[in-house]
Structures are given as structure tokens and as C-alpha cells.
Amino acid sequence: MSNEGQPVVTATALPILPGATLGILGGGQLGRMFTIAARTMGYKVMVLDPDFASPAGRMADVHLQADYTDHGALRQLGVACAAVTTEFENVPAQSLIELARHCRVSPGAAAVAIAQDRSHEKSWLAQNGFATAPFALVYGEGDLDAALAEVGTPALLKVARFGYDGKGQARIADRDGARAAFAEFGAQPCVLEGFVKLERELSVVLARDDAGHCAAFPVAENRHEQGILDVSIVPARVADPLADEARMMARDIAGKLAYVGVMAVEFFVVDGRLLVNEIAPRPHNSGHYTLDACVTDQFEQQVRALCGLPLGDTRLLSPVAMVNILGDRWHDGGPHWAALLAHPAIKLHLYGKETARPGRKMGHFNVLDADVEAALELAEAMRDAL
């Protein structure tokens, strides 16, 4: 068979050292923090993002303002970069395949394709023996009755693709509500998830390298408001055996995915048991505490895994509470930065976004204290004071 016309890529020499150019698909806050970490470590960064005001693009050496499916831009990125990663899971898997013809890509397209589609993700978890909340797949209106019979009500109907921060989901109480929500979502494939009685929500951020070595960060305990992460508390206030089980389960998921890079696994705690909620093939909002509270933060770890460097030390240096700052705070004369910055143990991170909108993540702050309860108390007070 002829290879004429097919790009030929030689194996990338690892490790990739400072001075090389790294690429990232996506220019939001996760891309921005990756860019800062990479540039701090001596790498150049090229960002591909269609938004001219991309927060990451403003920090990068080069911003390619193009769509994620733009073949010319993908080729330019792949040729210029020694390795490319992603900041969000909705990058088309085909674009990752195309990039892999030119350079190292981490995470790979196969893992991203599973995590970016809830129906694929839930099915994959079930097939690989990981416990989840009850669910049923809905590909058309005709599937709703069987899904409701299997899962029961109340339930959540979630779009399979492109849902995040509570968007693309609706609470379902009955058959008519399910049909109305499905129609509102444009009759696109969905997952119907049964309600479970939550005790806590946890997450584990970890990195896995090419050799299969994993480094997991301390378990975070998370609270959400209207589907958006509000506060993360670290260390999670759970028994050590449960925290150890969460880290081990996250490692098992990464291993079965043959994952290389930084990823997060979200868990529900139900009757003392762990149920997997979601996989995020990227750094995670609940891992932002690592920027100030760990030896290595999740974005430096993303650089290390991408470049084939030894994974960094994930030790927790201080208990911490992380609070998201949403665009809602820009109304009524806020945010009130002076109150926040009056505390020397609070570390503020803003994302450089031009426009504040309700529900939009504009930044976060970390509160460090030797006592996790004291950190949480101050974090909640400052959140309300903003």
C-alpha cells in the first residue's frame, strides 16, 4: 500500500525540554494557566482558539485565531509545536488525530472521544466495572418511555455533548416533562440519570505519564450552586480509606483509558460508596487549589506530562478552600477586592476575561490555613463579602 500524500511523523524525542514550543487547543482560563506554567518553565506557547479576546491567547507567544477544525491552522500548530494538549474536552477528536500526524498529542483522541460524550462515557464506565448513578441512553423521543421506566423519577436529562456548568440539563418529574426537555434540547442524544441521595461530592485530579506512572493530588470535597462549582475543600472531610479508594479508582480509570496527561474524576458519595459522576480529560476547576497549596500545581503537571518529564510532587503544603468568582459579582458595584486582599492568606487568581456575565467564571481565590475548617469559614465569609 502506498503512503504517498500521507504525513509522516517521526517519534517525538522525550523529554521535550525548555525552549521548545508547546501548543494548546482552547484559549479559556485553563489554557491561560497552562500557558503561564509553560512560559514560567521556559517553553514557548502557541494557542489555537477562535476568540480574538482569548485569555490564553493574550498570554501566549502566538495566538492562532481559527476554528478547531481549520485544517490549515491545525497543520500550522502541529508543525510549529513539539507537542499539543487541550484545555477542554469538546475539541473534535478528529482534530487531535489530524494533529498527531505532525507532533505529539496528549491526551490522545481515543480517551477524549470517550470523555466528551456522556453516553459513551457512561457506557464505558459501566462496561469497565465502575459504579455510576442509574442511567439510560436516549437517542430519540421513542427511547424516553423505556428510559423513564428503567431510571424512574425524579431524574436529570442531560445532553450527551457540550453540556457544562449545569447547562444542557433539566430536572425531570414525569413523562411530559421529559418530552418537553428533550424537545428543548433539539432532540439531540441525551442521558437520563436517576437521582441519588448525595452525602458528598468529591474529585481527584491526577496525572499519568507514558510509562503508566500516576501522581494523584489530594482529594477535594466540592460544593456546587446551580450546577457550577462554588467551593472546594482540601483535604476532603472523609475517612482516609474512602479518600484512598477514590484515588485508586481514578488511577484505574486513567490506566484503562491508557491516558497520558492531567485528568479529573468526579465522584458522588452515596451510602458510603463511591459512584463515578464524570471524567474530565484536562485540568479541572476543583484542582485550582493546587496553584497555592501543593508542591506542584496541576498546570505545571500538565506541562510535565505533555513533555515526558518526571511527574511533579503532589504533596499538600497547607489545607485550603477554593472559591470560584462568577460574573454575578460584577453587579452592584462589586467585586470588593480590598476586603479580599486584606487577608494575607488569600491568593487571588483572575482570568483576564473582558466581559462579566452571570454564571461566567471570572476567577477564583484560595484560602490557606493550618485548620481546614478555619480556611472554609474565611472562604465563605469572603465569598459573601465580594
Question: Around 297, how many Cα atoms within 13 Å sit in the side-chain half-sphere?
Answer: 21
* The three cell numbers locating residue 116: 466528551
Residues 348, 362: Cα–Cα separation, whole Å: 11
Chain mean pLDDT for the chain: 93
Q: pLDDT digits over 168-183, tens only?
A: 888 999 999 999 999 9
Question: Would you place residue 8 in the very low, low, confident or very high pLDDT band (cuts 50, 70, 90)?
Answer: very low
State percent of the chain over pLDDT 70.
Answer: 95
Quick check: helix, strand or coil at residue 308?
Answer: coil
Q: What's the pLDDT score for residue 166?
A: 57
Q: What's the pLDDT score for residue 367?
A: 98
- If we measure between CA atoms, which residue out of 173, 150, 191, 175 comes closest to residue 277? 191
Question: Around 71, how many Cα atoms within 13 Å sit in the side-chain half-sphere?
Answer: 0
Instruction: Check pLDDT > 80 for residue 23.
Output: yes
Residues 52, 285: Cα–Cα separation, whole Å: 23
Q: What's the pLDDT score for residue 9?
A: 41
Q: pLDDT digits over 315-366, tens only?
A: 999 999 999 999 999 987 779 999 999 999 999 999 999 899 999 999 999 9
* The three cell numbers locating residue 278: 464524570
Quick check: helix, strand or coil at residue 191?
Answer: strand
Residues 269, 283: Cα–Cα separation, whole Å: 22
Q: What's the pLDDT score for residue 90?
A: 84
CB 138 within 8 A of CB 182: yes
State percent of the chain over pLDDT 90.
Answer: 86
* The three cell numbers locating residue 139: 437517542
* DSSP 8-state assignment for residue 330: G
Residues 286, 294: Cα–Cα separation, whole Å: 13
Asked whether the CA dihedral 229, 235, 238, 242 is positive or negative, the reply is positive
Q: What's the pLDDT score for residue 248?
A: 98
Any bridge partners for residue 239, and if so which? Answer: none
Cα 270 to the chain's mean position, in Å? 23
Contacts 24+ apart (CB under 8 A), 168-172: 169/227, 172/148
* The three cell numbers locating residue 196: 441519588
What is the number of helices (H) and of strands (E) in the chain? Answer: 13, 18
By CB neighbour count within 10 A (0-12 exposed, 13-18 middle, 19+ buried), where does 333 fall? exposed
Q: pLDDT digits over 53-100, tens only?
A: 999 999 999 999 999 999 999 999 999 999 999 998 888 889 999 999
Q: pLDDT digits over 184-196, tens only?
A: 999 999 999 999 9
Q: What are phi and psi for residue 125, nearest 5 degrees? A: -60, -45
* DSSP 8-state assignment for residue 46: E
Residue 25: Cβ within 10 Å count: 25
226 to 144, 326, 331, 380, 385: CA distances (angstroms): 25, 12, 19, 17, 20
Q: What is the mean pLDDT of residues 36-41?
A: 98
Question: Would you place residue 1 in the very low, low, confident or very high pLDDT band (cuts 50, 70, 90)?
Answer: very low
Q: What's the pLDDT score for residue 342?
A: 96
Residues 93, 204: Cα–Cα separation, whole Å: 24
Q: pLDDT digits over 350-362, tens only?
A: 999 989 999 999 9
Residue 67: Cβ within 10 Å count: 13
Question: How would you classify the pairing of strands 228-234 and 104-105?
Answer: unpaired
Q: pLDDT digits over 90-121, tens only?
A: 888 899 999 999 999 999 999 999 998 999 99
CB 368 within 8 A of CB 316: no
310 to 16, 259, 306: CA distances (angstroms): 11, 16, 10
Query: Going by C-beta distance under 8 Å and a sequence separation of 6 or more, which residues neighbour residue 29?
Result: 55, 56, 351, 353, 361, 363
